[in-house]
Structure 1
């Protein structure tokens, strides 16, 4: 059990114990006092002190099963699983009906990734306990490890039915509903739950999120309002309400909801960003940009903040400012592939071809293998006259997109440009076989080649 300021006896035990450690004068504690002290230290993450308490406790009470179980718990924490298992087997021979032995056994099996065996052991523990909630939760977690979401959901549901304030189980249960795409079933369960617990702000909040997922925005809004009525300082409900109001195009009301969160707690970059987006939708550009600046000031690592500023200036055709801000973003996080894509696109709009090519190359190097990225880089390389590099890029692209007409037409044009007519003809035939409508690619990128009679005849023959 945990100590609290109101629990004078337990606080006295803890003070007495810590005094003993400082003075090295050994004092006597009954076994229950040691259990409370150990439990307190474990909950505080003070494992070294817990181990001292266990040792002293077992020195004074060598036959205490509960103190030995704490010893097992520490062994498991330290990943000394074989030692823990051996001690548990000894304890099982002494107290085969002790549920905690089964729980620790399951913990060891779980650590060994033997999750189904852990479930079986925990189900045996259920037969021995009068308080099954914790075991239901443990079984649910093991089923999650097994990706058995239906089974996990059932056990988390049992937790919630036993204890309406077990919000951890409620969240896990909703996670299972979401993973299984059972939004309607989640809504049904939450509505029944709320009939019994009408002031559960967490349940209203989760219900609103379910309605939001199925795009029933009016019911979502009502649910978030009830969450706020239940707890008028519930920041999550105000944020979700703002998102719903945005979907309903009620931007001023959304701003009001987001602003409430700023008054309740320190500003969050999410709320500042959403306010900026709302002002932009309302056409209030000065305020929009002001909040985008606040967003990146609050959280310089939030890519959505920098992207919003960049997109804002791109829409205004102020490409120099857009480039300035995407460069600032890259200076903060040079591994962000989205930044490099924007960097490339903006440079392309400014006709800075070499910089644009470098941006697309960097995006590819970072693992952005979208067809558009390969194609855009190839087209720039062709414009720069770097045909060999364009061919290498297109061949790499074809590994991800084999027999793609957009790639094949470009390869055909490149090879014809280099005078490698056999390869050009091969790729042109491939391209025509896959899509006869894309011949304009050669016409746009290689107009002189497209006008050649031989090429026109090849196209005509194979169409």
Structure 2
């Protein structure tokens, strides 16, 4: 594993040197392997414009390298420039028709375009000509995964990992496919086999730990990550995952210790700082939480979780005006988070900004129409404002979107009763009782005074099993 870290540092140095030369308009000279590493670094980080720039610089220096022409075609495909990508790979095919990378690249273009059957055929063709290339099986996995055929995708990711167990992206994709097809439990043996074959492989233990973590087997995950760290104390990613496992077990002090080992000494990442902040937040140590969130923001002002974290800290201290400032910032950085909108809505309501609160609830229901809390909290606000009809309309809307959610039916029933619309309320109550009889207690939690209503009690009794 340590070798990998040294390699990675060398590649990063090369990338930095390349970027410096480009920025200063100096002539760029690297050997072919360095250029390959630079291009690979950019594509792995989805920086396709920079990858293309590196391809052009490399081709200017090595105009006859088919590898570079193939790289250029693949990068164009990833940028969505399919015509140019196809033209480039056809040119290569003229020069070197038997190169398996021609078929691989045609497959990558087809995957990007959404022609999955065609992509699979190209990759199979490439695999026939060469048996030991993990990247071909990895691309087959990606094509099947994009095609939503998760079982087939998992099969090829496994083949890829048998050839190259160090491909962390393949591990992540495999775990995702097994999880979504609910086959993770059955496949834990696949990951265990790597540790049996090579008990001194830190990567094998790390991958096994991730599989246990995803399967919710946290104690097993801790043991596996511990082994990885025992073999390689500087395995930062393993420390990071071990920390996340402790978070899942609500052992926040242990998590903080591990997060502090999840980066090279003295070089904390914004993510690690933010995670440490969140652990302190869970421990209700507000000053420490705020301090670490702030350090994360100082390093990366676009880290929405840290802005949100400070908002939560302010909120917990009933400093709502300040909380709103941080929640708004979080929402501006990441508009798709229902959690952010709900927190903002609640804080706005706390200081009497009813209109702003309603706007935030509306955004929450747009972002996540199937989040029942967004509808419930918004309706409570309208109800408390005396707008019974508004609350009723809102709940009807919510019930239409989530007809199987009993709690929404009970809430609608309560609002109808409050508005004196008894016939509709009883109809609604019947639906709710059929869906989930036990939740009828919620009615009396919302409105204790309903306990004394005879008609209501009679109706509920009819549905007792």
TM tier, shorter chain? 0.5 to 0.7
Check if 1:430 corresponds to 2:427: yes
**Deviation at residue 330 of structure 1 after TM alignment:** 0.9
Unaligned runs of 5+ in 1: 1-21, 24-33, 58-63, 417-423
Which aligned pairs between 1:122-161 and structure 2 lie closer than 5 A? 122-129=123-130, 131-161=132-162
Partner of 1:79: 82
**Deviation at residue 168 of structure 1 after TM alignment:** 4.7
Q: Distance in 2 between matches of 1:241 and 1:71?
A: 39
Q: Distance in 2 between matches of 1:161 and 1:439?
A: 53
TM-aligned CA distance change 1:442 to 1:409, over 3 Å: farther
TM-aligned CA distance change 1:333 to 1:40, over 3 Å: closer
Partner of 2:412: 407
TM-aligned CA distance change 1:264 to 1:359, over 3 Å: same
Partner of 1:370: 371
Partner of 1:256: 257
Partner of 2:52: 45
Partner of 1:19: none
Check if 1:162 corresponds to 2:163: yes
Q: Are 1:133 and 1:159, in contact at CA under 8 Å, matched by a contact in 2? A: yes
With structure 2 as the length reference, what TM-score do the two structures score? 0.67
Partner of 1:330: 328
TM-aligned CA distance change 1:457 to 1:309, over 3 Å: same
Q: Distance in 1 between matches of 2:394 and 2:246?
A: 45
Partner of 1:291: 292
Please give the secondary structure, in 2, of the residue aligned with 1:260.
coil
Which aligned pairs between 1:15-34 and structure 2 lie closer than 5 A? none
Q: Distance in 1 between matches of 2:165 and 2:205?
A: 13
Partner of 1:9: none
Q: Are 2:210 and 2:241, in contact at CA under 8 Å, matched by a contact in 1? A: yes
TM-aligned CA distance change 1:412 to 1:216, over 3 Å: closer
Partner of 2:235: 234
Deviation string 1:144-173 (CA, Å, 9 cap, x unpaired) is 333333333333333333345455544444
Q: Distance in 2 between matches of 1:291 and 1:285?
A: 10
Check if 1:271 corresponds to 2:272: yes
- Structure 1 or 2, whichever has the larger Rg, is 1
Per chain length, whose mean CA-contact separation is higher, i.e. which structure has more relative contact order (CA < 8 Å, sep 6+)?
A: 2
**Deviation at residue 355 of structure 1 after TM alignment:** 5.7
TM-aligned CA distance change 1:444 to 1:106, over 3 Å: closer
**Deviation at residue 197 of structure 1 after TM alignment:** 3.1
Q: Distance in 2 between matches of 1:272 and 1:74?
A: 33
Q: Distance in 1 between matches of 2:143 and 2:188?
A: 25
Q: Distance in 1 between matches of 2:67 and 2:257?
A: 54
**Deviation at residue 204 of structure 1 after TM alignment:** 1.8
Please give the secondary structure, in 2, of the residue aligned with 1:261.
coil
**Deviation at residue 395 of structure 1 after TM alignment:** 4.4
TM-aligned CA distance change 1:183 to 1:75, over 3 Å: closer
Please give the secondary structure, in 2, of the residue aligned with 1:404.
helix
Deviation string 1:236-263 (CA, Å, 9 cap, x unpaired) is 1112222333455654433222223366
Which aligned pairs between 1:48-67 and structure 2 lie closer than 5 A? 48-49=56-57, 57=64
Q: Distance in 2 between matches of 1:148 and 1:250?
A: 37
